[in-house]
Amino acid sequence: MDRRDFMKTMGVAGGMVTGLAAVREGLGADVANAAHHEGGAPTNAARRAMHDLLAVIREVEEELITPARGFSPEELAEAERSLAHILYTGLDFWLEAKPHRPVFRPYVTPTRKLLGCNPDSVYFFAPIQDDKSYRISGNVGAATFTSFTIEQGSEEGHAARGSSAAISDLEMEIAGDGSYEIIVSRAKPAKGNWLELKQGASQITTRHYHEARQNIAAIAGRVVPINIEVLDPDPLEPDGGDAAIAKHLEWVTNYVREHSAMTFQKTSPEMAKQLGWISLEPNTFPKPGQWASAAGDNAYGNTHAWYCSGRYDLQPDEALVITGRFPGCRFANVVLWNSFMQSYDYVNRQVSLNRNQVTYEDDGSFRLVIAHEDPGVPNWLDTEGRKEGTVYWRYVFPNEEPRRVKTKVVKTASLS
């Protein structure tokens, strides 16, 4: 039934209102009768699981998204949207997940962001089992860097606790047309690309970095050819009914609970010190470093990359001028995020710059400007009018240690 037929069925104007009122009354009676027969408590597993999911969302709001934890009113509002994005992702990843017959799902999109999204990269996620074997096939296309990482501990929607294997296009056998295959298994194949499945392996994360003039993640209908198939599939089973639906809702609940715990926290001085490449002093940046520097914990971190992060804090008439030089590497960029690792609007604004988007000085160095309004100079990063935000740098496979950039706060009017 299309919309026109629906409107004809329900009537027009007052008739439709009357129809909807009747529907509401009928639903109210049904709900009341159901509560009477069920004693007010859910009797099936799927409904109990749905209630648990809703309860976790409320717990996140009441325990994690609060002024007492240091969030400003603006951050509290954005936290609600971030929570919705986490729920959106959990539903997309786990409600219909089949680790024994996985498919790749995009990690982030222009309207669903989390965990440090990158406008110059496309990411995919697939849940897996450590006792199966898989074949990944695809094409590197125009990507400047392609990699695959196996994470552990994320079974049933839990947050990954670490990386157990990784392979990039530097180690891979790739055909002349850019195509490739990777076997994911416990035993090493006689030849070809291989990702080892260790005990506890639970997901595959892929990264496809691009240094194009237009952000790859902003291109509508973008295509990164990639597929995964199980080589030793289990026989298909009948629909699992109530128990199966409840199980998958529980996976979504696990995802929302644990990713919220990661997302809605302020970076502590201890964490910043442990990582070494995060600055808690506004408008300054430390020396770049790697995720591996943090007690070997590489969960969700690219093991081939160096990072640097800091906060900008600017008055309406101020701008942050950043000068430096990119190292020789496979990929580098800088991105603006909110407090919850979500990038700004990269579809309609310039909120990130990769090396091919930067206008350079005569000596090969760069001069970037973070400002609330267009200062009329090259390399402007648009804050969307946000007084504060996160600035995040990536350097993939640098052939030298990336250098620390220099910063200076100036009046925006002085730049033009």
Instruction: Work out whether the CA dihedral 357, 360, 366, 370 comes out positive or negative.
Output: negative
Task: Give the H or E element holding residue 164.
Answer: strand 162-168
Confidence of residue 223 (pLDDT cuts 50, 70, 90): confident
Tell me if 394 sits within 8 A of 324, measured CB to CB.
no
Mean pLDDT of 8-17: 40
Tell me if 101-232 shares its fold with 269-415. Answer: yes
Strand bridging mode 134-139 / 179-185: antiparallel
Mean pLDDT over all residues of the chain?
90
18-32, 278-292, 372-386, range with greatest mean pLDDT:
372-386
pLDDT at 2 over 50: no
**101-232 is classed CATH 2.60.120.600:** yes
Look at the domain 269-415 and name its fold.
Answer: Jelly Rolls (2.60.120)
| Residue for token pair 């990954």 | 160
3-class DSSP state for residue 367? strand
Among 147, 193, 181, residue whose Cα is nearest residue 304:
147
Mean pLDDT of 239-250: 97
> What pLDDT is attached to residue 221?
84
pLDDT at 35 over 70: no
What value, to the nearest 5°, has the Cα angle with vertex 328 and ends 288 and 333? 55
Mean pLDDT of 70-82: 96
> What pLDDT is attached to residue 12?
38
Mean pLDDT of 358-375: 98
| Residue for token pair 């050819």 | 225
Tell me if 109 sits within 8 A of 169, measured CB to CB.
no
Rounded Cα distance, 230 and 226, in Å = 14
| Extended strands (E) in 315-387 | 318-324, 331-337, 352-354, 366-371, 380-382
Return the percentage of the chain with pLDDT > 90, whole number: 83
pLDDT at 176 over 70: yes
Confidence of residue 288 (pLDDT cuts 50, 70, 90): very high
Amino acid at residue number 410:
V
> What pLDDT is attached to residue 41?
72
Amino acid at residue number 312:
Y
Domain parsing of the chain, residue ranges: 44-94+241-265, 101-232, 269-415
pTM tops 0.95: no
Rounded Cα distance, 368 and 390, in Å = 15
Confidence of residue 37 (pLDDT cuts 50, 70, 90): very low
> What pLDDT is attached to residue 416?
80
Q: Quick one: how far is CA 330 from the chain centroid?
A: 21
Confidence of residue 32 (pLDDT cuts 50, 70, 90): very low
Q: What is the dihedral of CA 70, 76, 82, 86, to 10 degrees?
A: 70
> What pLDDT is attached to residue 302?
62
pLDDT at 33 over 90: no
pLDDT at 332 over 80: yes
Encode pLDDT of 101-150 as tens digits.
Answer: 999 999 999 999 999 999 999 999 999 999 999 999 999 999 999 999 99
> What pLDDT is attached to residue 23?
39
Query: What Å distances lie between residue 235 and 9, 185, 232, 238, CA to CA?
Result: 44, 19, 9, 10
Mean pLDDT of 190-206: 97
Confidence of residue 291 (pLDDT cuts 50, 70, 90): confident
Return the percentage of the chain with pLDDT > 70, whole number: 88
pLDDT at 373 over 70: yes
Rounded Cα distance, 287 and 401, in Å = 9
- Counting runs of H as helices and runs of E as strands, what totals does the chain give? 7, 17
Encode pLDDT of 97-114 as tens digits.
Answer: 999 999 999 999 999 999
